[in-house]
Chain A
């Protein structure tokens, strides 16, 4: 479980996060949604400690990240898996070496054991037969899957996915979403996903936080979201006239 309390962050005097609080539970897909530029990536980077928030607390199962020294932070980081918005795969390493990297760095397993784990994770994301290819040689959707495989290879307790299905076709996007949900439930991870894709919200949004102008403007589940009375959220969800009409008709 991750709890955040009153997290604030600004860049060059411009407040991006104006005090965000929320609770993200285990075994659930926690979604952070909001317009492009609303601060989703900044919030996640604050939570994992890549950015230092100016105020607020971040508790990982009760352990406050903002009060930790370097060594304690490092220990938490071994429990975190992260899929970056731009994948952040190591371009000089092959797919297999990318996924194996955390094992190479942090475990004493034999090569055979590591290979087995790598192949398991790659098959878990439905990606086989590309072990020896380099990131530049595979498609965007494959890169996302490699990124997820690398994020889960050490069995993390906390999984962060920043826009896991941006730039993917709707079908692949759904496959990735379902995958994230499955592994979240299977390993009871605390999963936080950034997205602006309403398909993901409806598909896997157990708990949704809507960021707007630096605040969490609305919080709830995807069951509640369609009937929201919150005007900004309503405009965000029913951004297209087509959807708005459809909604009015079904109402």
Chain B
């Protein structure tokens, strides 16, 4: 327990030390764009596949249940799918997915730099390494992850539409009616808040784990695993807190 508090303290200190004036803003900007590219393009494919099928499965399952119940109109499926994608599936599942993909790659990158003394080399040149190595990753993720999550949301709804049509649950015009019915923009705000919070959780935790690696290849692997596991746990807890606060 004491160790946990020590880690939280060190984590906050590390994040605090990222907030210093960059030596050369253009170098930092370049890093931000590199991160946006790597996280964005690197994850788009997997996010697209998972989201489409997530929407499809949700549609098929709800469709089957609605048919069994019988008296609920099928156009409701558009509404159900929309709300579950926007509120929960797109932000949370995408974040858990990215925690695995982005989190492990960030912690491995920083951990390798630590073990091979590249961070020391930067430090000796006079570079403020937390600012140079961590801040661009956090900013990059804050920019690109909400976009990935919005994409996930659209693709999920599209997947639901296709699967529902294939199973003959509804006509596209019915689905469209359901999508527009009783639309609450507040839900979109919640999705946006979630994606920002989750992006911060994933990158900051993975950076902390990678930046503080000590030892060799074994410890590097452990740090990368910890980055993913802790990110996942914190995301789930934050998800609950956000739901409590804003719904």
Contacts and interface: CB of A to CB of B under 8 A. Distances in A.
B116 A105 contact: no
Nearest to B121: A88
B12 interface: no
Interface in A56-100: 74-75, 77-78, 80, 82, 84-86, 88-91
Interface in A208-231: none
A91 B118 CA distance: 9
A32 to B, nearest CB: 17
B58 to A, nearest CB: 40
Contacts of A80: 124-125
A111 to B, nearest CB: 12
B219 interface: no
B127 A50 contact: no
B109 to A, nearest CB: 8
B114 to A, nearest CB: 11
B202 to A, nearest CB: 21
Contact of A105 (B112, B120, B125): B125
B181 interface: no
Contacts of B24: 104-106
Contacts of B23: 105-106
B183 to A, nearest CB: 45
Contact of A84 (B27, B121, B127, B128): B121
Contacts of A106: 23-24, 125-126
Nearest to A101: B125
Contact of A78 (B27, B123, B125): B125
A78 B120 contact: no
B117 interface: yes
A77 B116 contact: no
A102 interface: yes
B126 A74 contact: yes
A35 B124 CA distance: 25
Contacts of B125: 77-78, 80, 101-102, 105-106
Interface in B16-48: 23-24, 27
Most chain A beta-carbon contacts within 10 A, residue among B117, B123, B127: B117
Contacts of A104: 24, 27
Contacts of A102: 125
A91 B126 contact: no
Contacts of B123: 50, 77
Contacts of B121: 82, 84, 88, 90
A80 B126 CA distance: 9
Contacts of B120: 45, 50, 84, 88
B174 to A, nearest CB: 52
Given A105-B27, A106-B23, A88 B126 contact: no
Contacts of A91: 112, 116, 118
B27 A48 contact: no
A77 B121 CA distance: 11
A187 to B, nearest CB: 18
List 6 tightest A-B contacts by C-beta distance, closest first: A77-B126, A88-B117, A88-B121, A74-B126, A78-B126, A82-B124
Given A48-B124, A74-B126, 16 more contacts: A50-B120, A50-B123, A50-B124, A77-B124, A78-B125, A82-B121, A88-B118, A88-B120, A88-B121, A89-B118, A91-B112, A101-B125, A104-B27, A105-B24, A106-B23, A106-B125
28 contacts: A45-B120, A48-B124, A50-B120, A50-B123, A50-B124, A74-B126, A74-B128, A77-B125, A77-B126, A80-B124, A82-B121, A84-B117, A84-B121, A86-B117, A88-B116, A88-B120, A88-B121, A90-B121, A91-B116, A101-B125, A104-B24, A104-B27, A105-B27, A105-B125, A105-B127, A106-B23, A106-B24, A106-B125
Interface of B: 23-24, 27, 112, 116-118, 120-121, 123-128
